[in-house]
Amino acid sequence: MRIKIIKKIFLLTIIITIIAVASISLSACKAFGDTAGLLETFEVTRGDIIQTVSASGYVDSAASHSYFLPASGKVTFTLDEGDLFGKGDLLFEVDSSRQALLVAQAEENINISREALELARINYQQALDANHIAVQLAGLNEDLAEQATQSAYSSLGSANELANDSVKSASTALQNTRSVSSLLIESARVAWVGAKEVLTALGVAGNPTAQANANNALANYETVKAQQQANIDSAEGTYETTKEQNQSSVNSAQSAYEQSLLNQSSTSWTNLSSTQSAEAQIAITAKNISQAETQLRLSEISLELVKLDTDNSIIYAPYDGIVLSSGYSLGEYASPGMAAISVVSSDFVIKAEVNETDIASLKTGQEAVIRLDAYYDSEFYGKITRISPISGNIGGVVSFEITVEPEKENSPELLYGMSASLDITTSGAKNVLYVPIQYIYEEDSRTYVDLLNEDGTTERKEVTTGAFSYDYIEIKSGLAEGDTVSVSSV
């Protein structure tokens, strides 16, 4: 880009020089003084080179808002165009009495939902406690039923053992009775037989005593036999009775044991049913808690929605600023879709359009000198805070918008929409040698100037250049301060 500018300047300079040279006689004086008078010259000077970008703009707000109300209603408060306000001030409001009732209703629903949730939590805790008790009782009942079964089993064993012992004792008693009775009967029979033999030996008629003894022995034999038979019958009855009684006891113990087994099984099933019922109650109450929590959240959401409607009926200032426009007057009916009020912040910035050829040399943070048409005799400073990445096109000219934030101190009073101009220093060099940019030219990728000698002649001098502005270019090497250069005759 710089070379194209230099070449254009060189071309214009060459044309001017040719015209000037053509009007001078070739036989003109070659003296230095005469030559210096004929050629455009410049003495190499030391100083500063500064390149700037200039742009025109206007005072704009750092923030702006247009508010559209979703809610409708009668306008109860509004600021007018040009009114000033502070952050948090009321800007616009419509009647929200209906929303207030809805808020009260939503808050009451929340209270009901909270009570339902609290009740569900109480029921859940009760279900946990009932389950704990059911588990404890189930264990206790299981232990008691098992103990009862063991006791019944032991009783059955004892009954069997006792029955066996009783029957065995009765059987022994019966055997003993039979043996004793047989001996007694046999003894009485022997006594009777002996008495009969004595009677036979003495003769019945000759010995009345023997006859009486024989009769007595017979009677005793019959009596003993009858008594012993009675004893045997009694012993047999006792034996049979003992067997029946013992069998009854065994049967009763067996029934008690079987009943204990049934009771233990019933207890187990009852305990299982109780614990399952308690667990089911826990699950139900937990579900009730979840439903109550969901209902509470829904009630809270309803309240937030109602509050949004309430909030949508009133607008507060987000910052200090000015009203740009107001869509309604006090008492009018506001409808959704139309801007209720538009405001801008009183924190002002400068916005300007910069040509695309200059935008590459700008960056955020660069300092800018600001001038306002309203204060043409004063200037103040600011910094670039934003460079828009989106271009604009006005009349075929491509440009980019930049935003400059003015310094807070030493700034004049800014009003929205004021015209402004910016000067932004993009590059420069201090205390360097420089010459006018049209005095240099390039050949074969090298840069030269025409150095004017004391005798009036010129010589081509290669130089190294550096920073440049629209008017001057830095000479880094090849020339010294005070050297005189001329516009090249090339």
The string of pLDDT tens digits covering residues 212-225 is 887 888 888 889 88
* 361-381 CB burial, b ≥16 within 10 A, e <16: ebeeebebbbbbeebeeeebe
Question: What is the model's pLDDT at position 310?
Answer: 66
Determine the Cα–Cα distance for residues 56 and 312; give it in Å rounded to an integer.
Answer: 40
pLDDT interval class at 204 (50, 70, 90) = low
Q: Are 303 and 311 in contact (CB under 8 A)?
A: no
> What does the domain layout of the chain look like in residue ranges?
2-62+348-486, 69-94+313-334, 100-309
CATH superfamily of 2-62+348-486: Efflux pump adaptor protein, beta barrel domain (2.40.30.170)
Which 8-state DSSP code applies to residue 410? T
Contacts of 382 by beta carbon, 8 Å cutoff, 6+ apart: 350, 367, 368, 370, 404, 405, 406, 407
Contacts of 358 by beta carbon, 8 Å cutoff, 6+ apart: 53, 55, 426
State the DSSP H helix or E strand holding residue 448, giving kind and residue range, or none if neither: strand 446-452
Which own/partner pairs from 299-307 qualify as long-range (CB within 8 Å, at least 24 positions apart)? 299/106, 299/109, 299/110, 299/112, 299/113, 300/110, 302/106, 302/109, 303/103, 303/106, 303/107, 303/109, 303/110, 306/99, 306/102, 306/103, 306/105, 306/106, 307/103
Higher per-residue confidence, 197 vs 6: 197
Based on DSSP, count helices (H) and strands (E) in the chain, helices before strands: 5, 21
Q: What is the mean pLDDT of residues 10-35?
A: 37
State the DSSP H helix or E strand holding residue 319, giving kind and residue range, or none if neither: none
Q: Which of 37, 144, 61, 33 is nearest to 322 (CA)?
A: 61
pLDDT tens digit string along 116-151?
989 989 999 998 898 888 888 888 888 888 888 888
pLDDT tens digit string along 52-71?
899 999 999 999 999 987 77
Determine the Cα–Cα distance for residues 109 and 270; give it in Å rounded to an integer.
Answer: 42
Determine the Cα–Cα distance for residues 116 and 288; give it in Å rounded to an integer.
Answer: 9
What strand order describes the sheet that includes 314-316? 314-316, 90-94, 73-78, 333-334
Question: What is the model's pLDDT at position 268?
Answer: 86
Contacts of 455 by beta carbon, 8 Å cutoff, 6+ apart: 30, 32
pLDDT tens digit string along 368-420?
999 999 988 889 999 999 999 999 998 889 999 999 999 988 888 899 999 99
Please tell me the least confidently modeled range out of 84-93, 141-150, 346-355, 379-388. 141-150
pLDDT of 18 higher than 60: no
Q: What is the mean pLDDT of residues 159-178?
A: 85
Q: What percentage of the chain carries pLDDT values higher than 90? A: 35
pLDDT interval class at 249 (50, 70, 90) = confident
pLDDT of 206 higher than 90: no
Q: Which of 255, 184, 248 is nearest to 222 (CA)?
A: 184
Equal CATH topology for 2-62+348-486 and 69-94+313-334: no
pLDDT of 465 higher than 80: yes
**Is domain 69-94+313-334 given the CATH code 3.10.20.600 in the classification?**
no
pLDDT of 432 higher than 80: yes
pLDDT interval class at 242 (50, 70, 90) = confident
Question: What is the model's pLDDT at position 31?
Answer: 35
Determine the Cα–Cα distance for residues 89 and 306; give it in Å rounded to an integer.
Answer: 23
pTM (2 d.p.): 0.48
Pick the CATH number of 100-309 from 1.10.10, 2.60.120, 1.20.1270, 1.10.3910: 1.20.1270
Higher per-residue confidence, 103 vs 237: 237
pLDDT of 162 higher than 60: yes
Which 8-state DSSP code applies to residue 329? -
pLDDT interval class at 246 (50, 70, 90) = confident
Q: Are 274 and 134 in contact (CB under 8 A)?
A: yes
Question: What is the model's pLDDT at position 198?
Answer: 78
pLDDT interval class at 475 (50, 70, 90) = very high
pLDDT tens digit string along 309-329?
666 678 899 999 999 999 898
pLDDT interval class at 34 (50, 70, 90) = very low
pLDDT of 27 higher than 60: no
Which 8-state DSSP code applies to residue 219? H
Q: What is the mean pLDDT of residues 96-105?
A: 76
pLDDT of 205 higher than 60: no
pLDDT of 23 higher than 60: no
pLDDT of 10 higher than 50: no
Higher per-residue confidence, 160 vs 380: 380
pLDDT interval class at 258 (50, 70, 90) = confident
pLDDT interval class at 425 (50, 70, 90) = confident
pLDDT tens digit string along 225-236?
888 888 888 888
